[in-house]
Amino acid sequence: MGRNLLKREQAITFVKETFSTHLKQALNLIPISSPLIVLDGTGINDDLNGIERPVSFPIKSLNEERAVVVHSLAKWKRVRLKELELEPEEGVITDMRALRPDEDYSPIHSIYVDQWDWEKAIHTKDRNLNYLKDTVNKIYSALLATEKAVEHQYPERKAILPDQIYFISSEELLARYPDNTPKERENAIAQAYGAVFIYGIGGELSNGFAHDGRAADYDDWSTDNDAGYKGLNGDILVWNPLLNSAFELSSMGIRVDKTALLRQLEIRNCVERSKLSFHQMLLTDLLPESIGGGIGQSRVCMFMLKLAHIGEVQVSIWDPERKDKLANEDIFLL
């Protein structure tokens, strides 16, 4: 078993190195260092859906000021763009490591999170749906190239992605499957097209509910009738036949400007967050316009290597009963 695990580790490394190389080239991204922890109360940590608890602890050398382990680097990266003085169409990428202790265990969820977190400065004129779609197509091209490379290196891992990714808004998806839950709609559209980008996630749809939750202060997901769009963010999903379900690889989007930030803080009833340091930087024009997202490293490895559980491609904490049950199914966690 040990040699098989070693071969799997080598395959994981191959996938990660191949995809990150293609992604950097596709989006013009520069690798940078990134934090595992940030100070609490700055507004820089990713709040995800706004309810998840971060790991928090006091720092003795800072008079017991509290720090939090990041959920992701959605807002930190935008500050870094400013600090590095990057111009539009220049971006950064980093190996993000995070902890999400409130995550529910499943074959695709762990409390340990590893992502390629990326962010790119853009022109104000590129805050539109066409630019978002063009960026998604570039990311998808990196996924296609990686899958072909994996098949060449490991012929038993057959490439299954379609040549193109399908685009649909969350509102259009609701109209197509009005009697289904959001997850059922995702499964239906992903199975129909193989790869899909659902955009406009976070805002209220015509049925009175959002397709999924989003924090108020990084992606621009709310309606702007004057600009003619409903949401400039979304998720990249592929159909995973091994799990018989839609499989999210990335959440991304064009980031909020001042107008969108205030609009979304009001929608979420958290206008008081506008006083935090990150939000003040944005509201006083100190941050660049940007687009960015996270791409799950373990998720990409799972999909490319045709594995059934996220614990097969990352080392996390699992309960012994779960590990034993999976081992009886010939699924061995790292």
Choosing from 114, 217, 219, 248, the catalytic residue is 248
Choosing from 126, 220, 235, 289, the catalytic residue is 235
Helix (H) or strand (E) holding 274: none
Rg (CA), the chain: 20
**Catalytic residue list contains 65:** no
Q: Which residues, listed in sequence order, are joined to residue 233 by a DSSP beta bridge? A: 253
**Catalytic residue list contains 90:** no
**Catalytic residue list contains 163:** no
Choosing from 78, 80, 100, 214, the catalytic residue is 100
Contact by Cβ (8 Å): 189, 168: yes
Choosing from 169, 222, 251, 314, the catalytic residue is 251
Tally of CB atoms within 10 A around 88: 16
Distances (CA, A) of 74 to 21, 78, 120, 187: 21, 7, 12, 26
Choosing from 20, 46, 157, 299, the catalytic residue is 46
CA distance 224 to 159: 39
Non-local (6+) Cβ contacts of 83 within 8 A are none
**Catalytic residue list contains 46:** yes
Non-local (6+) Cβ contacts of 56 within 8 A are 40, 66, 67, 68, 69
Helix (H) or strand (E) holding 91: strand 91-99
**Catalytic residue list contains 115:** yes
Torsion of CA 197, 200, 201, 206, to 10 degrees: -120
Choosing from 20, 110, 115, 264, the catalytic residue is 115
**Catalytic residue list contains 314:** no
Query: Which residues belong to the active site?
Result: 46, 100, 115, 235, 248, 251
